[in-house]
Amino acid sequence: MFNLAGKVALITGGSRGLGRADAMALARAGADVVITDILLESDVDEEALKTSSVGQTLRKEGVVYAEQTAEEIGRLGRRAAVYRMDVTDGEQVSRVVDEVINRFGHIDILVNNAAMLDHVATIENQDAALWERDLRINLTGAYNCAKAVWPHMKEQRWGRIINMASVAGTMGGFGQASYSSTKAGIIGLTKSLALEGARYQITCNAIVPGIIATEAWKKGNPKMNERMIARTAFRRPGEPEDIAHAVVFLASAEACYITGIELNVSGGIELFIF
């Protein structure tokens, strides 16, 4: 089950965290993997870093693994490639997709993982520029990538698009107006693409992560992290691999009759806890 041999997967935001875990899991299932990110070890866009406090911190501490991940995938016997790609730039996204098609022959799986979540402020203190940035990256970025791969998936009459939503999009998030709004928008985009893609055997589903112990989460406020953990039924955060396993399933042939869903991988944080 879940044999992805012969499939090519493209992952955005794949240099760390959930994206890196997804890349490794898809490769272990047999897929060739293309990792894209605005942050790479050897070719960092300093202008892009200026817009991301999280990116600045992670890059400074060496927590960026796009090229390393590609090397690990190669050692598994899979093909891998890395591209620096800004998901907000539709023309750049289209160029990268065309390059991947020329190099690998096809794209079968798209994982829209790239997102920003460092804009935390109550509504009266939300920064207008960061609101617009989050819309461009978290929502328009997913739209740009889906639109770029769509003609190829439509022509081959097979495709899997997996969008990363969040419980912030289904439950709301205190001080997260921009992030929550974009993740709610991702769910709407998912359902629309599911409807449009069904006749071409293209499925589109959203994964709804809860509290996941990524590098960025571990750098958060410890007291706030404990409060969030206490909201989960399991009383612990999930691991990136928990999300990656769901990605592999939704990318597989076994999930061919599943489309337009919101799959909670959240440790029960959305349940009534007392």
By residue range, what is the domain housing residue 35?
A: 8-265
| Token pair recorded at residue 74 | 């190669």
Residue 143 designated active-site: no
Q: pLDDT by residue (tens digit) across 111-139?
A: 999 999 899 999 999 999 999 999 999 99
Q: What is the pLDDT at residue 71? A: 97
- Cα 216-218-223 angle, rounded to 5 deg: 125
Q: How many domains would you assign to the chain?
A: 1
* Mean pLDDT lowest among 74-78, 174-178, 212-216: 212-216
Exposed e or buried b for every residue in 82-113, given b needs 16+ CB within 10 A? Answer: bbbbbbbebebbeebbeebbeebebbbbbbbb
| Phi-psi group of 211: left, alpha or beta (phi > 0 → left; psi -120 to 50 → alpha; rest → beta) | beta
Specify if 1 maps to a domain. Answer: no
Query: Which one is catalytic: 83, 179, 200, 257?
Result: 179
Specify if 63 maps to a domain. Answer: yes
Query: Which letter does DSSP use for residue 231 in this model?
Result: T
Give the CATH number, domain containing residue 108. 3.40.50.720
Kindly tell me if the per-residue pLDDT of 255 is higher than 60: yes
Residue 91 contacts by C-beta under 8 Å, 6 or more apart in sequence? none
| Token pair recorded at residue 20 | 């890196």
Specify if 221 maps to a domain. Answer: yes
What is the rounded average pLDDT of the residues 105-110? 98
pTM for the structure as a whole: 0.94
Q: What is the pLDDT at residue 56? A: 61
Specify if 127 maps to a domain. Answer: yes
CB 155 within 8 Å of CB 202: no
Specify if 161 maps to a domain. Answer: yes
Q: pLDDT by residue (tens digit) across 9-24?
A: 999 999 999 999 999 9
CB 192 within 8 Å of CB 163: no
How far is 191 from 188, CA to CA, in rounded Å? 5
Specify if 75 maps to a domain. Answer: yes
Specify if 3 maps to a domain. Answer: no
Identify the band that residue 219 occupies on the pLDDT scale cut at 50, 70 and 90. Answer: confident
Specify if 237 maps to a domain. Answer: yes
How do strand 109-112 and strand 80-84 relate by DSSP bridges?
unpaired
Interaxial angle between packed helices 177-197 and 141-156, expressed in degrees from 0 to 180 and rounded to the nearest 10: 10
